[in-house]
């Protein structure tokens, strides 16, 4: 009798453990936020067969002295990579390490970031770049100084995004304070190449632009996106334009991401992940929990982004559920 009871207990426990394991293995949706912690300004990428998200650590400026990264094979389960870069590696940054943008070139990974939140040309800081052998770092300072340390065309040197064009050229779009510039990076990312007219920084500011530029190509068209409104308020949102070239003009079409009072507020500062060989696009962005007004309480979320038959972006529905599992091939 005792042996029978023991056997039944073993079977029951095994069944429970199997059910728990099965439940974890078949988690159908990512959920939003996609990982724990206060993180903003997320850059979503695909490197080495994995999805990656590089966000800003959302805290007091004086505490923003490092960056974490997150990786996933399926958009649902995320692994945290702590302190992939910090101010011990980039010594000129003292605070406000913001808005990472990461590209892979010649088997190296380059992380562009803003530091120190400079308010004028007399202060030291701006946009820098770090380099690593792996997407999870560790990243080391590439220059030992900022890449952009001054205001040009009124643009505060923050919120950089690096875009690889069809011809292999790399362009940086950046700028706060309602101004956006584009500049062409040189081959080793140590500086910029002049445009045909001799200028380095070309202003491309669209209507209502505030910050957070992003660019991608679809069907030969250039989709330029940006954030509008105040990052701490309910009017924060994402709009876009479409152009035939990377320099515009960028005529504002519409807002495609904004708050839903039943879900969350302050939805903005985004990036887009396109799964190669598919029509699957994901918008990665930050938002504030419903009813939470704390300045630094921003969470990283993912939702599906789709297009209509004419190539225009459909309005994104922000959700609690997030996105379905999607393995990379």
Active centre residues (catalytic): 41, 211
Residue 40: how many other CB atoms lie within 10 Å = 25
Q: Is beta strand 181-185 parallel, antiparallel or unpaired with respect to 170-174? A: antiparallel
| Residue 76: C-alpha distances to residues 71, 123, 215, 274, 288 (Å) | 10, 42, 25, 16, 20
CA distance 323 to 76: 8
Strand spans (E) along 116-176: 126-132, 140-141, 161-164, 170-174
């Amino acid at each position: 009798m005792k042996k029978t009871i023991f056997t039944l207990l073993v079977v029951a426990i095994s069944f429970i453990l199997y059910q728990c394991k099965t439940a974890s293995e078949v988690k159908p949706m990512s959920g939003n936020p996609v990982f724990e912690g206060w993180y903003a300004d997320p850059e979503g990428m695909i490197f080495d067969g994995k999805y990656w998200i590089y966000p800003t650590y959302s805290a007091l400026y004086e505490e923003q002295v490092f960056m974490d990264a997150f990786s996933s094979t399926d958009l649902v389960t995320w692994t945290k990579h702590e302190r992939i870069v910090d101010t011990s590696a980039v010594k000129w940054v003292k605070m406000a390490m913001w808005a990472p943008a990461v590209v892979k070139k010649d088997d190296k990974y380059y992380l562009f970031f803003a530091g120190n939140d400079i308010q004028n040309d007399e202060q030291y800081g701006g946009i820098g770049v770090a380099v690593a052998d792996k997407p999870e770092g560790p990243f080391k300072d590439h220059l030992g100084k900022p890449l952009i340390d001054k205001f040009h065309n009124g643009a505060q040197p923050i919120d950089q995004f690096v875009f690889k064009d069809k011809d292999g050229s790399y362009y940086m779009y950046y700028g706060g304070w309602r101004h956006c510039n584009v500049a062409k990076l040189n081959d080793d990312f140590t500086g910029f190449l002049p445009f045909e007219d001799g200028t380095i920084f070309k202003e491309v500011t669209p209507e209502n632009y505030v910050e957070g530029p992003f660019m991608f190509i679809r069907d030969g068209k250039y989709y330029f996106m940006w954030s509008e409104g105040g990052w701490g308020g309910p009017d924060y949102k994402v709009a876009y334009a479409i152009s035939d070239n990377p320099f515009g003009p960028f005529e504002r079409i519409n807002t495609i991401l904004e708050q839903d009072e039943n879900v969350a507020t302050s939805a903005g500062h985004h990036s887009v992940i396109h799964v190669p060989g598919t029509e699957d696009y994901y918008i990665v962005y930050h938002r504030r929990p419903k009813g939470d007004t704390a300045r630094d309480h921003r969470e990283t979320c993912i939702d599906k982004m789709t297009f209509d038959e004419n190539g225009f972006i459909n309005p994104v529905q922000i959700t609690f559920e997030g996105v379905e599992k999607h393995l990379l091939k």
